[in-house]
Structure 1
């Protein structure tokens, strides 16, 4: 028996990440060792001399924490630094559950591992730290398999039993170890369908449950902790199947700490040899007195601390799975008392399921005319006043055949990076007139509210795709459409077995791929990507690449042809999508609602209603239980999923919000408006910070340039934080976040009417945007070496000269025979996931392995107004 198609395992986010590979590898290095709690440098040296593989720096051992009571926090950084300086073995330190700032401090101190510990007083009762945001490995406690896999999904590189630290009583550690190991043995007997159901029962990610069943163990190392006081205790945990032990109070609350520490280390090494265990257990001095765990009140037990469910999201999931009848959680801002309201709220409309904006016809008409969320012309986007010859786009029959190379034009370049761009797939799916049970509950929408082309007068196609967005791990692609549906596409598990029109033997394919890969790698030897792009700069305005586009490429279906999910719920067009970790998705719509979805469910988990059309939505980058929305009423709102309420809001008087973004650390929210203003708010209480205004030209001829998109540049240690702002004056601007100055302007595309906007590649090296003349534009983000250091006034003079004298390298291609609505790069994690599937199913060398600085294998997604979602691949 196998799982249905829509229950296919999700790819693990961590397993494909180089950072995760390093973190989990560091934790593996401790396997078979003993980690000892120490409170000063002297104890740390005793632990190292005894053979400990690492030490845990903390101000008080757990026994003293129990005795003293009060609030227990992270240790003094000075004490941690002294311990780091005193020993050569790795040093760990504890942080409170949910206290990500303490973790940031410890990462800055360069501790080797961080323990998000229930021994310390929890800082957050509902959320653990998102450990994927850190480079240092994390350790977390768990009492059962579900809790262990949830912590692994958050980024934990090591799991330990919680036990009852500070008691000297091993009974709780044994109980937790047997529970986890017993559940692992149980899932090894299940088929995929049973595993999927069991994953929901224990509230754990399905892909991790499946991986654990395959391995017969946790995906990370599993240590024992809590109450281990004797060599026999340590040997017991090792014989049960644990990978190592933590020891704290059991050593330094005994009569002879040094001797007992050496004995426990030897017990972990010789845990199967009774003779050695008997010898090392002799004459150890007085053991720790200990505490009977049965006498402890529940409030004094450490093991029960922490969030014992995934998050509020999974609670919703579980309720939806268990209920036989369909129900939604609907939250309306009118049910809350916003902080510092600007004006009185009007009464809630009578519709019990959906709060449509007041005068919806007027609001939507306003949205259409000002934002341009429709097709501009029924026949062509080409401007009638455009006189430049290079703006002419020739469309020939057969230009968009699967497997055909695409003609690439380049400006200010000798060579194009995307010269072998091949159309490999068309994700065209027509929902037609089919209406699901979910959407039928919402009732019909009057035809007068359907979106019209305000210039052509032709009704917009119901399958027009307005938004594309990849999940955070690159496993899923979401497309938001004009009819209010959201389609989720997942990766094709049989990529190499589904070549489109590819002829010839696999031996020939393998040989050609090997040659291409070698040539691709050779072209990058000894030359950095920055130098290559700089050297390729040319003063020629435009050149057509000489590659023979009539040839066909090696085609593979990267995505499944059938959607993984089709979400119905919104009554009007989708305006924005936002993913968070854990495959949760927020969707904004013209119908005035934001819906929360999870990839495992077919119905929304909850609905957040607004007073007007919602133009943008974003998850908070650090706390997935918070998100911000912008709407046409000029209000930015911050919502809490935990408390199901509107936390606070602010208003831009007399303007409408059209775009939204968070700063990297989530401390600042940036709003783009119809009038061309970029307004910066502090996230806490949405306090106004500053604003900049963007105009399409200078002097008396200047005019407002409405903002259609704001995208944060992916984090790169070589570059400061920047934002990409797309405006309806056919310009894309890169803004420095620190001083709000203009870093660079990217030109060439035509954007005057639609709501299209530019996006970064996942490494920030390239920018992509759809144009109203049906072309897709790609720019090199940094066409010169911005890291070359100059000092004083010379720096600004040189950089200003480079900015004006050397425009960004530009490549473009015709993306569709229809009007384009959006274009974006697939994350490199998507490419890596596809290659991982490729390498696991075929024994041929892959041409899609990314060389350093190379764009070979890059995947580009382009959507148009007829429902086509084209997948292009830049083959080597």
Structure 2
């Protein structure tokens, strides 16, 4: 292979000049980058929080360690070579350079393909053996090879698409406790609140009353007053009759009830209080407090670093918990607008990536970048215990970033999601692993797993564009070879053409699924019976989709 020459043809180009002359297009930014700088310029993943964390850890610099070491070694070898070296030795050195260039080009091309796949969201090749496609619904539903049925979510039906509102990826979604409001946030720095049609009149009336009495606002409405409100659909006055007729089956109003501006960077987490206050955390190092009746920010809580997680205290919403990349867990007093208690994570990697309350507020827990779940007693925020979330052997034996920790309703167990594409259920009584759920792809994103309203199912988004669902307690007795501490009997929904960044169950499906009335023979009365789940998923493109799944008779 002949080495290329300069434009004038007077000399041979060096390795550095060759690499510099080859331009690589950064598909994320549109910038053209010389090949010798491509390793540093081209990101490994798109999620901005993941990129920021990698820049702060040894893992980011180690990506180029071998290449740089090889460069230095080659340079030293060249310096020590004298004119007495034989032609054979020179050829060996040249071959080493060629191999090094080939490896560098191969790595770069691989990274370009990875980034291109995430940016353009290309379809992954899949086996058609276990995929079923209903063209009428335009949803692909599949199950793992080990899961032979019966299936619980094969009757899933899309009922609404809330797209074209968010500009960019959605990183977080959260339903209000009552299930009538949905908050979403992400890359466009805005917090949006969506309302069910049947609850629009109630919240609009609340907003009008607050606007009319700004000097002496009435107390925040209670859940009882909302539950007693009529659930008749109310049309949006700004929408035409034709649009409303087309969306009669859609549960949410077509446009957001509120759009809150204030954050200057990506939103990372959202938390609701029982009285319709909202907390939003951001990469702009702040937490902001809002209320659905107000248009403006009520309070801003400044932090030193990115705020990755927030949670209202479940029993006293005057307090909230925040976790930050500065390694500090803070318990804030909202009326006093100051930190009431704080503690700092120990260890070499002090990056808090998630936080939550457990056991009705008795415990606080944080998840870290190096795969630890650390528990604190909330009363004094003192260290209690910790769990190292990792496999005992294999490539996952090193702890990976924790993306969420959630309590199992009614039980003393927690669900932990991590960047080894695993979701684990732990028993808090002895910190033992109860079950590990496999199937989704979550290697670098901040995707979170969560429970259904009754704790029977687990849902999680995925980097392969699917939504994954598992039974929390699968009928393992049906499978003679199954291990009780492993669950790869998932059902998958393909409804997006991009990375599914968030997927959650609605906490009150009765509000969206119309009851089916069954007549009792003995008393001749009607009793509403709702059997099903409501799913909401969001993706990297900003699409939000709502699905209803009605269970078959005798199932669920």
Task: Tell me which interval the TM-score lies in, with the shorter structure as reference length.
Answer: 0.5 to 0.7
Larger RCO, structures 1/2 (Cα 8 Å, 6+ apart):
2
Q: Greater helix share, 1 or 2?
A: 1
Q: Aligned residue for 1:777?
A: 468
**1:702 aligns with one of 389, 394, 397:** 397
Distance 1:470 1:363 in 2: 23
Given candidates 374, 377, 386, the residue that maps to 2:115 is 377
Seen in structure 2, the aligned counterparts of structure 1 residues 667 and 867 have a Cα distance that, compared at 3 Å, is same
Which of 375, 380, 386 pairs up with 1:691? 386
1-side partners of 2:515 and 2:294: how far apart?
25
SS in 1 for 2:469: strand
Look up the SS of the partner of 1:665 in the other structure: helix
Assess, with a 3 A threshold, how the Cα gap between structure 1 residues 479 and 646 changes in structure 2: closer, same or farther: same
Deviation at 1:380, TM superposition (A): 4.0
Contact 2:435/2:487, CA 8 A, preserved across alignment: no
The counterpart of 2:430, out of the listed 730, 735, 739, is 739
Report if aligned partners of 2:435, 2:484 keep a CA contact under 8 Å in 1. Answer: no
Partner of 1:807: 487
Deviation at 1:387, TM superposition (A): 9.6
The SS at the match of 2:192 is: strand
Q: Which residue of 1 aligns with 2:365?
A: 670
Instruction: State the shift of 1:481 in Å.
Output: 1.9
Residue in 1 that maps onto 2:140: 407
- Give unpaired runs (5+ residues) of structure 1: 1-361, 432-461, 504-553, 787-799, 840-847
User: Does structure 1 retain, via aligned residues, the 8 Å contact 2:50–2:445?
Assistant: no
CA distance, structure 1, for counterparts of residue 342 and residue 233 of structure 2: 47
Within 5 Å, give how 1:610-689 maps onto structure 2: 610-653=303-346, 654=348, 655-689=350-384
**What residue is the counterpart of 1:568 in the other structure?**
261
Describe the SS at the equivalent of 2:140: coil
Name which one, 1 or 2, has greater alpha-carbon Rg: 1
Listed as ranges, the matches of 1:582-593 within 5 Å are 582-593=275-286
> Does structure 1 residue 833 correspond to structure 2 residue 528?
no
**Distance (whole Å) between structure 1 residues aligned to residue 304 and residue 283 of structure 2:** 11
1:771 & 1:674 partners in 2: Cα distance? 19
2-side partners of 1:370 and 1:771: how far apart?
25
Alignment of structure 1 residues 150-299 onto 2, 5 Å: none
Contact 2:309 2:353 in 1 (8 A): yes
Of Structure 1 and Structure 2, the greater strand share is in: 2
Once residues 187 and 121 of structure 2 are traced to their aligned partners in structure 1, the CA distance between those partners, rounded to angstroms, is: 25
1:534-573 equivalent positions in 2, closer than 5 A: 556-573=249-266
Aligned to 2:169: 464
2:44 aligned with 1:366: no
Corresponding residue to 1:599 among 285, 292, 313:
292
What residue number does 1:235 align with? none
Sort the Cα spacing of 1:833 and 1:383 in 2 relative to 1 into closer, same or farther, 3 A.
Answer: closer
Unaligned runs of 5+ in 2: 1-47, 60-112, 199-231, 236-240, 518-526, 552-556
What is the RMSD computed on CA atoms of the aligned residues? 3.8
Tell me the secondary structure at the aligned position of residue 53 of structure 2: helix
Question: How many Å apart are 1:368 and its aligned residue?
Answer: 6.5
In the TM superposition, what are the counterparts of 1:787-826 in structure 2 within 5 Å?
A: 803-804=483-484, 807=487, 809-826=489-506
CA displacement at 1:833 relative to structure 2:
2.5
Q: 1:425 to 1:377 in 2, by over 3 A?
A: farther
* Offset at residue 642 of structure 1 (A): 2.4
Q: Is the 8 A contact 2:355 2:405 kept in 1?
A: yes
- Counting matched residue pairs gives 397
Deviations 1:770-813 (CA, angstroms, capped at 9, x unpaired): 11100110000011489xxxxxxxxxxxxx99644873531101
Closer, same or farther: CA 419–500 of 1 in aligned 2, 3 Å: farther
Matches of 1:805 and 1:499, distance apart in 2:
52
In the other structure, the counterpart of 2:5 is none
CA–CA distance in structure 2, aligned partners of residues 658 and 364 of structure 1: 10
Q: Determine the C-alpha separation between the residues in 1 that align with 2:56 and 2:461.
A: 19
Question: Partners of 1:578 and 1:838 in 2: how far apart?
Answer: 33
**TM-score after normalising by structure 2:** 0.64
Q: Separation in 2 of the partners of 1:700 and 1:813? A: 28
Show the counterpart of 1:865: 540
